[in-house]
Amino acid sequence: MAGALLFALPLDLALANDTMAQLGTQGLTFVRSDRIEMRSEDLFVSPDEIRITYQFHNNGPDDEDVLVAFPMPDIEGSMDFMTSAPTDDPQNLFGFTTTFEGKPVSATFHPYAFAAGIERTQVLLDHKIPLAPHLAATHDAVQALDEPTKRTLRGLGLVMPTEYEEDGKTRIDDIPIWLLRSTYSWHASFPAGKTVTVEHRYKPSLGATAGVTFLTETEDGPARLAATRQKYCLDDDILTRLKASGVKDGAWTSYPYVENWISYIWSTGANWAGTVGHFTLTVDKGDPKNLVSFCGENVRKIGPTLFRMEAENWSPPWDRELEILLLVPQRP
**HSE-CB of 227 using CA atoms within 13 angstroms:** 8
Q: Which domain holds residue 240?
A: 5-120+178-329
Helix or strand (DSSP H, E) at 7: strand 5-8
Report the first-to-last Cα separation within the chain, whole angstroms.
34
CATH number at residue 239: 2.60.40.3680
Nearest to 19 by CA among 289, 225, 273, 191: 273
Query: Cα–Cα distance between 283 and 131 in angstroms, integer?
Result: 30
Give the C-alpha separation, 289 to 227, whole Å: 24
The pLDDT value recorded for residue 3 is: 52
pLDDT of the residue at 85? 65
Number of residues that make up the chain? 332
In a domain, 153, yes or no: no
190's CB contacts (< 8 A; 6+ apart) are: 6, 36, 56, 58, 63, 64, 65, 66, 196
Structurally, the chain folds into a number of domains equal to: 1
Q: Please report whether residue 150 resides in a domain.
A: no
Q: Is residue 156 part of a domain?
A: no
C-beta neighbour count of 116 within 10 angstroms: 10
Q: Look at residue 220 and tell me if it is in a domain.
A: yes
Q: Is residue 186 part of a domain?
A: yes
- Name residues of the chain where pLDDT drops below 70: 1-33, 80-85, 267-271
DSSP state, 10?
T
Half-sphere exposure of 299 (CA within 13 A, CB side): 14
Domain presence at residue 134: no
315: in domain:
yes
Report if residue 125 sits inside a domain.
Answer: no
Mark out the alpha helices in 163-265 (DSSP H runs). Answer: 221-232, 236-244
**H or E segment at 12?**
strand 12-15
Strand (E) or helix (H) holding 61 = none
